Amino acid sequence: MKFFIDTANLDQIKEAKDLGILDGVTTNPSLMAKEGITGKENIYRHYHKICELVKGDVSAEVISTDYKGMMKEAKELAEIAENIVVKVPMIKDGIKAIAELKSLEIKTNCTLVFSAGQAILVAKAGATYISPFIGRIDDTSWDGMQLISDIFEIYSLQAYETEILAASIRSGLHIVEAAKAGADVVTCPLDAILSLLKHPLTDIGLQKFLDDHKKAQAALSKS
Ligand code: G3P
């Protein structure tokens, strides 16, 4: 399973990259706004910086919601760097744009997916990635992870090539469950990635190893 970081924050991207496990980045207009990046030029410059930092796929989302506008933006975004993946919303014009972008060999990530039916259309259109939003489904008291399992089953049976990118990840447990459900990629906030490092028995065990080593060294220097 590939690990992407879900942020537009350059420091967090660097931190995840330094761990040596980062395969890519996803962003969205909310995440760009959170970093205070506004205006097309600044936004595109920021995508360029991310693409220089990370050689894997970097998702950059269109703002237009009509076919023509999305196609224009998608082509402009794709010009920024070779590793740009154009993020397109799961709407009628979005599906049409994804199909056309596939024929132009521009990679796409279909975002805001909440049902298995939507997932079938996304795969038929030929998206590179599909982003089902796990956490937001959980927020409505439905089972977000079940959607990953359902899409995995359908895509496996139908031999669809679109990669399942589990998004709206909120915790380390979500990451583990997404891996079990067959996600190809998980995109996570840095906190969720770092939470995978933690286990109290690791800390206790390491402390004991170090204490025992220290005791043995002290005994050796006394003898
Ligand atoms: O990549 C989509 C993701 O950022 C949405 O996450 O936490 O806003 O539901 P969230």
pLDDT tens sequence across 86-99: 999 999 999 999 99
Q: Is 12 in the pocket of ligand 1 (CB under 6 A)?
A: no
DSSP string computed for 1-23 = -EEEEE---HHHHHHHHHTT---
pLDDT tens sequence across 117-130: 999 999 999 999 99
CB 47 within 8 A of CB 60: yes
Atom nearest to 136 CA in ligand 1:
9
What per-residue confidence (pLDDT) applies to 84? 98
pTM for the structure as a whole: 0.95
Q: Is 133 in the pocket of ligand 1 (CB under 6 A)?
A: yes
Q: Is 7 in the pocket of ligand 1 (CB under 6 A)?
A: no
Rounded distance, CA 22 to CA 16, Å? 6
pLDDT tens sequence across 63-77: 999 999 999 999 999
Burial class (CB in 10 A: 0-12, 13-18, 19+), 211: exposed
Q: What is the CATH number of the domain that holds 182?
A: 3.20.20.70
What per-residue confidence (pLDDT) applies to 212? 98
By alpha-carbon position, which residue is closest to atom 7 of ligand 1?
168
Domain that holds residue 143: 2-222
| Number of domain units in the chain | 1
